[in-house]
Amino acid sequence: MKHSFAALLLATTMLLPASAFAQTATNAADVEAAEAGEIIVTARKREENLQEVPIAITALGAETLQASRVENLADVAKLTPGLTFTPLFGRQNQLPIIRGAAQTFGQLNVGVFLDGVYLSGKAAVDLELNDLARVEVIKRRDAFERDPEAFIARFKKDEDKTRKRIVSARERLPAVSVPDAALERTAQLCMALGTDGLRGELTVMRAARSLAALEGADTVTDAQIQRVARPALRHRLRRDPLDDTDATVRVDRVLADLFPA
């Protein structure tokens, strides 16, 4: 049975310009496990099994993208051998470079495709990958409305697996502990961001504990706090009329200070 996976496919050939492909997702966790399906590659304008395509490909599953906090091609490059994404002339001129072959002027020698659509221009290629999730939600909603029975059958296996994880996490949740060090980190994070009251700390703590339970951990760590900080806090920040910095960027800056790599 064929499955389409949430994957970013970065491909290169000896004679053609290198290309980066973003594929749609159903169950990216199976990319690494490759359990009962196959990764379908469309780099050569037709559907082919990954094992049969004479192209070097790195496939990153949804869980890997989420755990690594991937948001743009620069983040993808950190996880892909031979790929760099360098702002040689500022953010509006970031260049994807494969195996050191850079194209400073003119058309890029690395092609970037999103769902089969070519993204032209240096500025366009640094797409925000978090927007892809919103697009995927719209696609799936439309697919459900068109053919509910086919949609349910398509995702039944994934849904059953997710349901089991959630039930298991609920059973494990009461036993998950939050050490004082994690609470102190959370308080420092919220104080640095200037959130009002204690709702921010409580939300981060509860979300981090739930995530730890979902991942099978017994204790909340810095990793869970960092993962939940954005969705838990970015909408709680005060707006500064003299600073138009995006809330997500503000959270990221504080996280970088508190949790240096």
pLDDT in tens, 145-179: 999 999 999 989 989 999 999 999 999 999 999 99
Q: For the domain with range 175-258, which CATH number is right: 2.60.40.10, 3.40.50.1970, 1.10.8.80, 3.30.43.10? A: 1.10.8.80
59/148 Cα distance (integer angstroms): 29
Q: pLDDT tens, 233-259?
A: 988 887 766 666 677 788 888 888 888
- Which residue in 209, 178, 187 sits closest to 258, CA to CA? 187
* Edge-to-edge strand ranges of the sheet holding 110-114: 56-58, 7-12, 18-23, 110-114, 117-119
Q: pLDDT tens, 9-66?
A: 333 322 233 333 333 333 333 444 344 356 778 777 788 887 888 877 787 777 777 7
Which residue stretches of 113-147 are H helix? Answer: 130-146
* CATH number for the domain whose boundaries are 7-132: 2.170.130
The domain spans of the chain are 7-132, 175-258
Contact 257, 191 (CB under 8 A): no
